[in-house]
Structure 1
Amino acid sequence: MQLRHLADKAVSTGLQEPASSPAAAPIQTTEPRQPAGPDALDIFASIGMLAYEWDIVTDRLGWGDNLAEVLPGFADVDLSSGRAYGERLGAQSATSRFDAIVTATGSDDGNGVLFNAIYALAPPRETGGGPLVWIEDCGKWFAGRDGRPCRAHGVVRVITERHEMERRMTRSAQFDALTGAMSRALLAEHSLRLLGQPEKTRKPFAILLVALENLFALNRTYGYDAGDEIIVGLASRLRSNVRVNDLVARYAGNKFAVLLENCDVEQAKSTGQRLIEVIAQTPFTTEIGSISVSARIGAVVAPRDGRSPAVLFQHAEEALDAARQRNAQRLVCYATSLARDNGRLHALQISDSVVSALNERRVELAFQPIVQAQTGQTAFYEALLRVRLADGSIVVPGDILPIAEKSGLVRLLDQRVLELALAQLRADPSLRISVNASVATLHDPEWPEWLANATRVYAGVADRLTIEITETTLIDDFDKTRQLITDCKRQGIKFAMDDFGAGHTSFRNLRLLDFDFVKIDGVFVQNIIKSQDDRFFVRTLTDLARHLGLKIVAEWVEDEETAQLLQGWGVDYFQGSLYGSAVMVAAPGESQPLARLA
């Protein structure tokens, strides 16, 4: 039952004046009351509720007989009037019982009007004082003949512990627990306050979005504890190098936002450049030693670059994205939509290049060897996409695949890579190849039929082909992926789970999928000599794969010490710079493409 709904029943059980208050005649009321059970007061006392009735006209305040139990610090204090009770109100209180009554919405139709208030009471010094006692006060007020409140009754209970917990939760929502910097939400509130100032007196202000570079690599190289120490140090360094009235907020992950009040574009550039220098010039001290880091900054100036916090943040992120581009300045100030227009133009140029490369057969393969762990002999190759531009330069997948995926071209690239791989397999009967398949390709309803036709055209090679699927792809549509693997394996094609460990596939799902190989994500392999966490994780993955009878490929094997450790754990194959980088291969004589763009 809600606290405020108990108010009427509490009062109906009978009230008394505080022991210290002068004798007073019982408060007469005209409201009909429902009889309460004989143990109602005991129930209220057992759950910490104290009933009261207040005659607002005469200011007499009556209390239930469990006052000393609910408010022990006030048992010997005069609380016989609303005024005396109000004198105990703590300065931190945002409201009071009186405020809640006079500001309550609605009018009394004879049943009273509900009110609710949360406030603090300060124990009197003469009784020893003490910390504030926070009160929740719920009840009803009733109107006199003039329609204004003339009396009220209700219940109070102590909520000091709950109030403190809510205060801590509110603070945790407003300030970052790791660095003590304010949250993005609180930064947005400050920005909104500055934007809402009168136009005649409003001053421009800047927001600098500061991003720590390569935090992921730092975490992998030095450990997450060192990464956290760097983030804490960055927050401290930012606060030490801005004005007292400027604000520093933890924006997200490796990003901080600095709000510079009364700041124009030139001042924002000057401050941003200075922050970049002070971040880079002195290494950060961590438990494992000094670590040098660098940062990039995207800047906006309000209200020129936005008249709401959301727009300002969006534009700051666009400026930061521009600063992160290859060969870009470390500090970029937002300039209307030029960056986005340039980005769209670049995407169109890439898409046109991909279309031309497909039509003109400039999609090529590079082979990277995958060797047997025991002998170091090449077991098979991973066929990697390369696109040769019209000027003869080579583009790697990372430069085109994000745009190709958005433009719907990645399926055609996958088909061409697979077609080239099948041609290589037919030309060399001793060759074994693995190729990657994107999410778009796997979810294409026409792809299984296309693959079946391709293996018929290149007869006798399917059993030397392996298709790699990233672990995260499985989450998108598990049942479809499972059916696809089943259908393809009927043709003799093998399947490998790529980036094993990155997507945390459940043990049950891994058992249900008929994989032949798992490829352990290289980000976990490259630092296993230095990182105890990575060693534990990779060892766990290898034990799981071996338990399921799967062959194991470790990616990014770059030194002998790593190779020996993995070999001892039972890894079957190695792939990485220690055994050879990807090398371009010449296409054998091939048939007409199976798919061609119009």
Structure 2
Amino acid sequence: MAVFDTSAEVLARNNPTDPLQHALASREADIPRLVTEALAQDRARLVFMPVVAASGGQRIAFHEGLIRLLDENGRLIPAGSFMAEVEETGLGRDIDATALRLGINMLQVNPHLRLAINMSARSIGDGTFRRTLEDGIRRTPRIGERLILEISENSAMLMPEVVIRFMAEFRPHGITFALDDFGAGLTAFRYLRDFLFDMVKIDTIFIRGIHASPDNQVVTEALVSVAHQFGMFAVAEGVETADEAAFLQELGVDCLQGYLFGVPSGVIS
């Protein structure tokens, strides 16, 4: 697999050499067409970001697999360049199903890998997504024990009862469920109790500069306490400095994720 270093993704929107902008200019295509063609021509890849244990020498607990598309010249298109426009459409479901297929393939060829894949609650009713998940479980016994499905807080709250039923259906296969962007949405505590997620990923907005922000400290401490009260692991996203990591360790966060520990890459670290 080719190696993709995506540490510069944050500059993509302001960069005139952004491959998405180049593709749009050269082909006069819109984003949905670009995404459709990339998926149809098998130009989707996963990049991998490590999530480390907050204690115990920062060993890697699992990786998050993040979908990226390639333009016709093989240049990487960051998800931030296209997801906002297509995530609530049928293309969003196609992207979820593709990411799941690629993730399951990686789990099949790497028996020591534990991998998190993002999905929208809307994909629960998508036939291709469900078949991909069921086929992967059937072909590879116990693969679910190494698969983590991440559902964002806002997405989960769109259809909480559907998410709860989906989790109850697939949890017996060993699948772990994570509530992504925890704290940024509107999760009601009564649903949080009913969801029974295995872990939460605390939103980046509360993590950046937390060592110097009393407001972020109070909010994050409360989120960690809520997670632990409901028996869930707490993962801090967007950790970029040693000061942030040290404060989060003292706060009792279970795992850390961010550029401090590794940028998204096409190889498993």
Q: TM-score range by the shorter chain?
A: 0.7 to 0.9
Deviation at 1:471, TM superposition (A): 0.7
Q: Which runs of 5+ in 2 are unaligned?
A: 1-12, 17-23
Is 1:405 paired with 2:83?
Answer: no
Work out whether 1:583 is the aligned partner of 2:265.
yes
Structure 1 unaligned runs (5+)? Answer: 1-324, 329-341, 587-598
2:213 corresponding residue in structure 1: 531
State the AA in 1 paired with 2:46: L
Post-superposition offset of 1:326: 4.2
- The residue identity in structure 2 corresponding to 1:422 is I
Q: Of 414, 417, 426, which residue of structure 1 is paired with 2:99?
A: 417
1:240-389 to 2 correspondences below 5 Å: 326=14, 348-374=29-55, 375-389=57-71
Matched-pair contact (CA < 8 Å) for 1:366–1:582 = yes
Secondary structure (helix, strand or coil) at the match of 1:383 reads strand
Structure 1 pair 518–406 and aligned structure 2 pair: CA distance change class (3 A): closer
Q: Which residue of the partner structure matches residue 112 of structure 2?
A: 430
**Alignment-mate amino acid for residue 494 of structure 1:** T
Shift, 1:523, TM fit: 0.9
Is 1:390 matched up with 2:78?
A: no
Does the alignment pair 1:478 with 2:186? no
Match of 1:94 in 2: none
Q: Is the 8 A contact 2:48 2:265 kept in 1?
A: yes
Instruction: Please give the per-residue CA displacement for 1:72-131, whole angstroms capped at 9, x wherever unaligned.
Output: xxxxxxxxxxxxxxxxxxxxxxxxxxxxxxxxxxxxxxxxxxxxxxxxxxxxxxxxxxxx
Per the TM alignment, residue 472 of structure 1 is displaced from its structure 2 partner at its CA by 1.1
SS of the equivalent of 2:68 reads: strand
CA contact (8 A) 2:100 2:132 kept: no
The one of 510, 522, 539 equivalent to 2:204 is 522
Asked if 1:467 is matched to 2:171, the reply is no
Indicate how the Cα distance of structure 1 residues 447 and 364 shifts in structure 2: closer, same or farther if over 3 A, else same: closer
Answer yes or no: is the 8 Å Cα contact 2:108–2:143 preserved in 1.
yes
Q: Deviation string for 1:208-267 (max 9, x for gaps)?
A: xxxxxxxxxxxxxxxxxxxxxxxxxxxxxxxxxxxxxxxxxxxxxxxxxxxxxxxxxxxx
Partners of 1:405 and 1:475 in 2: CA distance: 16
Structure having the larger proportion of residues in helix: 2
Q: Distance between the aligned counterparts of 2:131 and 2:109, measured in 1?
A: 23
The AA in structure 1 aligned to 2:32 is S
Q: Pick closer, same or farther for the CA change 1:535–1:350 going to 2, 3 Å.
A: same
Which of 119, 124, 133 matches 1:451?
Answer: 133
Quote how far apart the aligned CAs of 1:445 are. 6.3
Distance (Å, rounded) in 2 between the aligned partners of 1:517 and 1:416: 24
Q: Which runs of 4+ in 1 moved over 4 A?
A: 325-328
Instruction: Please state how far the C-alpha of 1:431 moved relative to its aligned partner.
Output: 0.6
Aligned partner of residue 402 in structure 1, secondary structure: helix
Taking the aligned partners of 1:405 and 1:533, their CA distance within structure 2 comes to: 31
Partner of 1:563: 245
State the 1:353 CA deviation: 2.4
Q: CA deviation at 1:401?
A: 1.2
CA distance in 2, matches of 1:498, 1:538: 14
- 1:546 is matched with 228
**Mapping of residues 5-20 of structure 1, within 5 Å:** none
TM-fit CA distance, 1:569:
1.7
Cα distance in structure 1, aligned partners of 2:89 and 2:159: 21
Q: Residues 457 and 353 of structure 1: is their aligned pair in 2 closer, same or farther, counting only changes over 3 Å?
A: farther
Alpha-carbon offset, residue 557 of structure 1: 1.0
Greater Rg, structure 1 or structure 2? 1
**In structure 1, what residue type is equivalent to 2:151?**
I
Change in CA separation of 1:357 and 1:507 when aligned onto 2, cut-off 3 Å: same
Secondary structure of 1:583's counterpart equals coil
User: For residues 515 and 327 of structure 1, do their structure 2 counterparts lie closer, same or farther at Cα, with a shift above 3 Å needed?
Assistant: closer
Shift of 1:531: 1.7
CA drift of 1:443 comes to 4.5
Match of 1:310 in 2: none
Aligned equivalents of 1:327 and 1:382: distance in 2?
26
Is the CA contact 2:100–2:129 (under 8 Å) kept in the aligned structure 1? no
**AA at the equivalent of 1:379:** A
Partners in 2 of 1:532 and 1:439 — Cα distance?
33
CA apart distance, 1:436: 0.2
Mapped contact 1:365–1:585 kept (Cα < 8 A)? no
* TM-score, length of structure 1 as denominator length: 0.39
Contact 1:557–1:577 (CA<8 Å) still a contact in 2?
Answer: yes
CA distance in 2 between partners of 1:517 and 1:358 (Å): 30
Q: Whole-Å Cα distance in 1 between the matches of residues 128 and 161 of structure 2?
A: 17
The answer on 1:512 being equivalent to 2:219 is no
CA distance in 1, matches of 2:156, 2:88: 20
Query: CA offsets per residue over residues 41-74 of structure 1, 9 Å max, x none?
Result: xxxxxxxxxxxxxxxxxxxxxxxxxxxxxxxxxx
Alpha-carbon offset, residue 539 of structure 1: 0.4
Offset from partner CA, 1:336-369 (integer Å, 9 cap, x none) = xxxxxx99x96x5322322222222210010000
> What is the CA deviation profile of residues 20-58 of structure 1, one whole-angstrom value per residue up to 9, with x for unaligned ones?
xxxxxxxxxxxxxxxxxxxxxxxxxxxxxxxxxxxxxxx
Q: Deviations over 1:241-297 (max 9, x none)?
A: xxxxxxxxxxxxxxxxxxxxxxxxxxxxxxxxxxxxxxxxxxxxxxxxxxxxxxxxx
Counting only pairs closer than 5 Å after superposition, residues 55-94 of structure 1 correspond to structure 2 as none
For 2:45 and 2:128, locate their aligned partners in 1 and report how far apart those are by CA, in whole Å: 24
Q: How much has 1:506 moved relative to structure 2? A: 2.1
Q: What fraction of aligned residue pairs are identical, expressed as a percent?
A: 34
Aligned to 1:442: 124
Aligned-CA RMSD value:
2.2
Cα gap change, 1:355 to 1:522, in 2 (>3 Å): same
> 1:12-161 maps to which residues of 2 (within 5 A)?
none
Residue 382 of structure 1 aligns to a residue whose secondary structure is strand
